[in-house]
Amino acid sequence: MKLTCPECKNDVDLTRYPNLAPEDVIECNVCGITLMVNSIGDEGVVAEVVDEGK
Ligand SMILES: [Zn+2]
């Protein structure tokens, strides 16, 4: 699986999340932002930035 961070555009290391599922909250290992998984498909993982300030 592959996830490109929507914030920093780098590939997020998903090996730390072997049981990744939609609505899981993960952290970008490059920029440290918090992301929530929207969907997991053949073309990779889609995630959005979690705005913790709201
Ligand atoms: Zn990032």
Ligand 1 center from residue 43 Cα (angstroms): 19
> Would the pLDDT of 7 be above 90?
yes
Give residue-wise pLDDT tens across range 10-28.
999 999 999 999 999 999 9
> What mean pLDDT do residues 26-36 have?
97
Ligand 1 center from residue 34 Cα (angstroms): 8
> Would the pLDDT of 54 be above 70?
no
Closest CA to 15 of 2, 6, 5, 4: 2
CB-based contact 40:22 (threshold 8 Å): yes
Q: What is the mean pLDDT of the chain?
A: 94
> Would the pLDDT of 49 be above 90?
yes
Ligand 1 center from residue 33 Cα (angstroms): 6
- Strand ranges (DSSP E) for 1-54? 25-27, 34-41, 44-49
Ligand 1 center from residue 5 Cα (angstroms): 5
Ligand 1 center from residue 49 Cα (angstroms): 9
CATH class of the 1-54 domain in this structure: mainly beta
pTM of the predicted structure, to 2 decimals:
0.86
Instruction: Give residue for tokens 């090996």.
Output: 15
